[in-house]
Structure 1
Amino acid sequence: YAQYHTLQILLQRSTMTFNEFNFKDTLNQAINDAGFKEPSPVQRDSIPLILEGKDIISQAQTGTGKTAAFGLPIIQMMSGNKGVEALVIVPTRELAMQVSDELFRFGKTSGFKTATVYGGTPYNRQIDRINQANIIVATPGRLQDLLKSKRITLSPKFVVLDEADEMLDMGFLDEIKNIFTFLPAERQTLMFSATMPKQIKVLAEQILNNPKSVTITKKERTNTDITQKFYVVADYERDDALLRLIDYKNPNKCIIFCRMKKEVDRLSSYMTSQGFKVAALHGDMEQKQREHTIRSFKQGLVEIFIATDVAARGLDVNDVSHVFNYHMPFDSESYVHRIGRTGRAGNKGEAITLVSPNELRTIKRIEKDVGATLISEVIPTRQEVQSRKDNDLLMKIVETKVTPSAIDMVKTLQHDIDIVAIAHLLATIVQEKIDVKGKNIIGLGQEEIEKLIEKAKNQKGRDTGDRSRHGRGGSRGGNRGRSGNRSSRGGESRGNSRGESKGNRRGSSGRDRNRG
């Protein structure tokens, strides 16, 4: 009976709809306009508790629907009286804009206005918007400045801390504590955090009143709509590997994540020189430039977005087909946030990570932490990509409707050239545009990857010096042995000069020291 009862609960959860929350008609209209059908796990578990007036502490990742999880019930309970009724505090400007846009979308049918508050913009303009708003979405630094200088006073009924662990990592703990000294004691407080370090738990005890806990397990946190793959390459091959994969995957829109600001700038210049429409985002950019960059990517004016992790938590674009990790992220949580930029709104997505041989154990750690399997694949050869492009072109030609102007063009050419020669010439012109560049084989073969994975498993517990020697040895061994391992794929010699390899290693040393 207990098993049957549990099964019934699971079935009820899986078929739950937003209608069961009994939202007002205007809010249901906004939900329908947004295309929401069934609540996500964090929405399913959080909304009823918030509607009951409970403080909550929720552990959930970016991309799981947290904004709707707190935004919908808050808008349901807002009175609509003049003044700010809800305050949402987020770590970054990008996330502030994203959350504000989504809350505006939910609240506009009910007549609610939102204001976004962050640094880098004039105080007076923000204060004017705050005075007209019902909901404020703010970053800690600017909000504290406004409250301490008494430029504004707030008495919100609802206060939300979103991405609390990120605010802790960015050093905003003191600002958060100070902000709460300016807020009324009678309020409903909601905290959302991807992880729950000790300082977050202590903060929760200080600002929450008998909170209820909502925890989305790792299996629920990992989006099953995202296929996760990794490719093993030497450090000097990363650019070539990235170009080859983009050529092969032909993404609709993609994001490339780098660890450092200078890597974003360098890679952006390089990709632009290769003919791609590229936009870059990192912390050193001016606010207007950042907003313009994000807007261009959302509108499809650029096809490739290159960013540091600052964008992982604050970029909301539903049609990103691929995420590329140019380097491994620093931790598993960052990995989850990065890949969460694809596979959104019911779409399928693919996350691709480039790793060096000495990073294979990190892949296994990430798999364990996020509860997902990363598939090992080999980078396609130039011939494989060319064959795929040729097939796509042939299909496009077959499916293309002939236009009158094309007929006229062929008739004109037929005066001097026979029809077969015309066909050959036109095919040559078209094919020149899809020629695949670069060396034939990039990265390690599957057999060699499997050996290195097994070797990494057996090296557990060895010191850092051993790991370092293994990483360099794996790279050199890969250069010497790849030709034999992949000759069946039409391979050419894999050898690169030792000077090039050493030069690239020297050039890349220390790249982990500065985070973007």
Structure 2
Amino acid sequence: MMKTSLLRQAAATRVALAVRPAQASFRASSAVLALARSSRPSPALPRPASSLLRFYSAESAAPQTSSDNGSSNLVTRFEDLRRLGVHEHLVNSLTKGLGYETMTDVQSMTISPALAGKDVVAQAKTGTGKTLAFLVPVIQRLIASQPELASPRAGGRARSDDIRAIVLSPTRELAEQIGVEAKKLCRGTGVVIQTAVGGTQKNAMLRKTRIEGCHLLVATPGRLHDLLSDRSTGIDAPNLAALVLDEADRMLDVGFKAELESILDYLPHPVDVPRQTLLYSATIPKNVVNIARKFINPTNFEFVQTVRADEVPTHERVPQFIVPCRGFENLPPTLLELVRRELRKTLDDSDKLPFKAIVFLPTTSSVQAYATIFRRLKFHDRLMPRIFDIHSKLSQAARTRSADNFRQAKSAILFSSDVSARGMDFPNVTHVIQVHLPQDRDLYIHRIGRTGRAGKQGEAYLLTADVEIPAARSRLPGLPIKRCTDLECASMDVARAADVPQVIEDIKNAAVKIPYEVVKDTYASLLGNAIKDVDKQDVVYELNNMVKYIFGLDQPPALSTKFVNHFGRHIKGLRTVTARDIEPRREYGNRGGSYSGHGARSEGFEKLERLAANENGGSRGRARAPRPAF
């Protein structure tokens, strides 16, 4: 009965919303969860019940209604925070130290209810200033509870086993970014900030925290759970006053649901120790609502939606292009051709922002390979911008350094795995280029969200092989993606062309000098689950062609028997490691091995290759389908 009643209410409200004009803002009160627990129908609701129950996702935002509280407490300038009771030192740090003046929508709409002590669930896109939106009320809450923290001379009062506020973030990079912002904001106070993320030396972090203490801890869920569950760490929060869940949907996407729920067991019960919880999320799917029910006080919270009903989402506003490439070996030269073309455009037009691109690749090893190629290209190409990379094999210090350097650069290229696809704030990114098909539609959208931010210029390109096009059509429905056909390298038959463009020669000359282990790891990683929804035999043929025609290997890298058996023993073209195998050296021009392990190319293999080429109508080991239209 309760479910039926609520569904009827939601349907009735949607009808009412269809004829109600959209207004400036939408903030829902704490009646949401109370309503969800009641089976008694309500005769008339002052706000849309369906949006309160579902919180609406970013792609189906409800028309926005005015706040119950009016706009009397709504501030739009950081200078005006004084009248809401924010301490003078904190306001000065914002306005004079950091130079902030006007608030973004998410800051203006969430800081006031948070300062009033309410829990907040806020739907806001990345790059809208969420970090300050939750740091200001959290730090003010700490100062209000301990007034001596307003002075920087309050040192020595912090303890590692009495942390008062925690900010949870889905990635190491975003957590580090939040920690840096928090320290800048607290320079004129005695609030001590510590950061705890995976991929760093845990013992060093613990020593630092035990010595300096901690009032506000910024952490990733995995590392926080590790610290709280191990009593020997000395990390505890028995008097926790504030908890922030940033990018909640992303935390759930990357598998932190169990850690989030378990963390609650190590925190004091809010009935015994009242705390404020602020939850921010770009989208509000069902799993985020379920987490909100566990963390948010249902009797004292507000839902703030900063995505306007008539606002065009980034993934619809940013021009998007797909570049179908003949094969995997066409991808590196096509990327270089695209980079050079777009770079020239920005150099020739002073009205355009300097070329600044993020190139997303599916695996860590492929990031290493492409970044190494482009660094070598830069030796001979004076126009090529600086090259950075971020991936899981780098230390946290190296990843932070790359992120900071790319953030500060006017023109640069960042090669990255998905560690920077969400939440990281890189200003003035003009291009997002994805090589190979992303795992799903949401990831594609999150990636292109790195460009076109704050109303600035931005373009997105997706480089895929022809064999990936059917999966692209299935995986990316309803997106305004246009086909790009004016890049010469995309359709070039690299294997058979007598006279290839200079771009391809440049790529080959750089690629053949890459360490063999990097090539081998790239080959193996792409054979894994990186290239989904494509016939495995086609993937093997494509990768074998790539390592031959781009990286200069006569034979594909050898794989373990276990890997080959798991991948599929019936798949042709895979090479297994045996005790007699001698892997090729890294010297230029001697990159190949042989199936027999004697270091010379087998005549039988050449014959098989010729037979396959004749049988399938080309030298590539399989028939080419007609070029598809996306």
The alpha carbon displacement at 1:348 in A equals 3.0
Question: Which residue is 1:179 aligned to?
Answer: 263
Q: Deviations over 1:58-110 (max 9, x none)?
A: 23332232212212222333315444432101122111101111222233244
- Correspondence for 2:357 among 239, 254, 259: 254
Is the 2:169–2:220 contact (alpha carbons within 8 Å) kept by the matching residues of 1?
yes
Change (3 A) 1:11 1:58: closer
- Correspondence for 1:233 among 325, 339, 347: 325
Within 1, Cα distance between the matches of 2:445 and 2:78? Answer: 27
The alpha carbon displacement at 1:124 in A equals 4.8
Is the 1:318–1:345 contact (alpha carbons within 8 Å) kept by the matching residues of 2?
no
Higher helix share: 1
Amino acid at match of 2:377: Q
Within 1, Cα distance between the matches of 2:75 and 2:459? Answer: 27
Question: Which residue is 1:71 aligned to?
Answer: 135
Is the 2:355–2:411 contact (alpha carbons within 8 Å) kept by the matching residues of 1?
no
Change (3 A) 1:164 1:498: farther
Q: Deviations over 1:29-81 (max 9, x none)?
A: 44445454543333333222212212122233322322122122223333154
Kindly, what percent of the aligned residue pairs are identical?
30
Is the 2:325–2:464 contact (alpha carbons within 8 Å) kept by the matching residues of 1?
yes
Within 1, Cα distance between the matches of 2:399 and 2:389? Answer: 9
Q: Does 1:379 align with 2:462?
A: no
Within 1, Cα distance between the matches of 2:400 and 2:185? Answer: 22
Within 2, Cα distance between the matches of 1:34 and 1:379? Answer: 45
TM-score, normalised by the number of residues in structure 2:
0.55
Q: Does 1:336 align with 2:437?
A: no
Question: Which residue is 2:172 aligned to?
Answer: 93
Amino acid at match of 1:77: R
Question: Which residue is 1:244 aligned to?
Answer: 337
Q: Deviations over 1:429-472 (max 9, x none)?
A: xxxxxxx83379xxxxxxxxxxxxxxxxxxxxxxxxx998xx99
- Correspondence for 2:282 among 186, 189, 194: 194
Q: Deviations over 1:95-148 (max 9, x none)?
A: 110111122223324443321112331325435336433321011222222222
Within 1, Cα distance between the matches of 2:75 and 2:324? Answer: 41
Change (3 A) 1:379 1:125: same
Q: Does 1:281 align with 2:373?
A: no
Within 2, Cα distance between the matches of 1:200 and 1:7? Answer: 26
Within 1, Cα distance between the matches of 2:94 and 2:474? Answer: 39
Change (3 A) 1:503 1:307: farther
Within 2, Cα distance between the matches of 1:293 and 1:213? Answer: 36
Question: Which residue is 2:596 aligned to?
Answer: none
Is the 1:230–1:375 contact (alpha carbons within 8 Å) kept by the matching residues of 2?
yes
Within 1, Cα distance between the matches of 2:107 and 2:417? Answer: 29
Within 2, Cα distance between the matches of 1:91 and 1:46? Answer: 21
Is the 2:75–2:108 contact (alpha carbons within 8 Å) kept by the matching residues of 1?
no
Is the 1:98–1:314 contact (alpha carbons within 8 Å) kept by the matching residues of 2?
no
Change (3 A) 1:87 1:171: same
Is the 1:60–1:221 contact (alpha carbons within 8 Å) kept by the matching residues of 2?
no
Change (3 A) 1:125 1:301: farther
The alpha carbon displacement at 1:248 in A equals 1.1
Q: Deviations over 1:249-291 (max 9, x none)?
A: 1153321001222321222232233225433222233333323
Q: Does 1:206 align with 2:294?
A: yes
Is the 1:64–1:221 contact (alpha carbons within 8 Å) kept by the matching residues of 2?
no
Q: Does 1:114 align with 2:193?
A: yes
Is the 1:127–1:152 contact (alpha carbons within 8 Å) kept by the matching residues of 2?
no
Within 2, Cα distance between the matches of 1:165 and 1:11? Answer: 24
Within 1, Cα distance between the matches of 2:623 and 2:254? Answer: 32
Question: Which residue is 1:491 aligned to?
Answer: none
Is the 1:282–1:308 contact (alpha carbons within 8 Å) kept by the matching residues of 2?
yes
Change (3 A) 1:355 1:45: farther
Within 2, Cα distance between the matches of 1:437 and 1:501? Answer: 22
Is the 1:91–1:167 contact (alpha carbons within 8 Å) kept by the matching residues of 2?
yes
Within 2, Cα distance between the matches of 1:127 and 1:302? Answer: 38
Is the 1:342–1:348 contact (alpha carbons within 8 Å) kept by the matching residues of 2?
yes
Is the 2:357–2:429 contact (alpha carbons within 8 Å) kept by the matching residues of 1?
yes
The alpha carbon displacement at 1:179 in A equals 1.7
Q: Matched residue of 1:108: which SS? A: coil
Amino acid at match of 2:420: A
Within 2, Cα distance between the matches of 1:128 and 1:78? Answer: 21
Is the 2:168–2:244 contact (alpha carbons within 8 Å) kept by the matching residues of 1?
yes
Amino acid at match of 2:448: I
Unaligned runs of 5+ in 2: 1-16, 26-63, 150-156, 344-353, 379-383, 490-500, 506-532, 543-615, 625-630
Change (3 A) 1:5 1:300: closer
Q: Does 1:105 align with 2:184?
A: yes
Q: Does 1:147 align with 2:239?
A: no
Within 2, Cα distance between the matches of 1:193 and 1:363? Answer: 28
Q: Mean alpha-carbon deviation: is it higher for 113-122 or for 216-225? A: 216-225
Amino acid at match of 2:394: M
Matches within 5 A, 1:387-406: none
The alpha carbon displacement at 1:356 in A equals 4.8
Q: Deviations over 1:200-258 (max 9, x none)?
A: 32222122111432334483652888544443333432222211111011153321001
Q: Matched residue of 2:186: which SS? A: helix
- Correspondence for 2:400 among 267, 281, 291: 291
Q: How many residues align?
A: 399
Unaligned runs of 5+ in 1: 383-435, 441-465, 476-496, 506-516
Question: Which residue is 2:424 aligned to?
Answer: 315
Within 2, Cα distance between the matches of 1:8 and 1:168? Answer: 30
Matches within 5 A, 1:332-481: 332-344=441-453, 347-356=456-465, 359=469, 362=472, 366=476, 368=478, 373-380=480-487, 437-438=502-503
Q: Deviations over 1:138-183 (max 9, x none)?
A: 1122222222222122122110111223222333222222222222
Is the 2:617–2:623 contact (alpha carbons within 8 Å) kept by the matching residues of 1?
no
Q: Mean alpha-carbon deviation: is it higher for 198-207 or for 211-220? A: 211-220
Q: Does 1:49 align with 2:118?
A: no
Amino acid at match of 1:200: V
Q: Matched residue of 1:323: which SS? A: strand
Question: Which residue is 2:153 aligned to?
Answer: none
Is the 2:79–2:101 contact (alpha carbons within 8 Å) kept by the matching residues of 1?
no
Within 2, Cα distance between the matches of 1:18 and 1:363? Answer: 46
Change (3 A) 1:169 1:108: same
Within 1, Cα distance between the matches of 2:75 and 2:229? Answer: 48
Question: Which residue is 2:45 aligned to?
Answer: none
- Correspondence for 1:123 among 180, 194, 203: 203
Q: Does 1:215 align with 2:312?
A: no
Within 2, Cα distance between the matches of 1:40 and 1:335? Answer: 26
Q: Deviations over 1:1-42 (max 9, x none)?
A: x99996687999999444555464444444445454543333
What is the RMSD of the two structures over their aligned residues, measured on CA atoms?
4.1
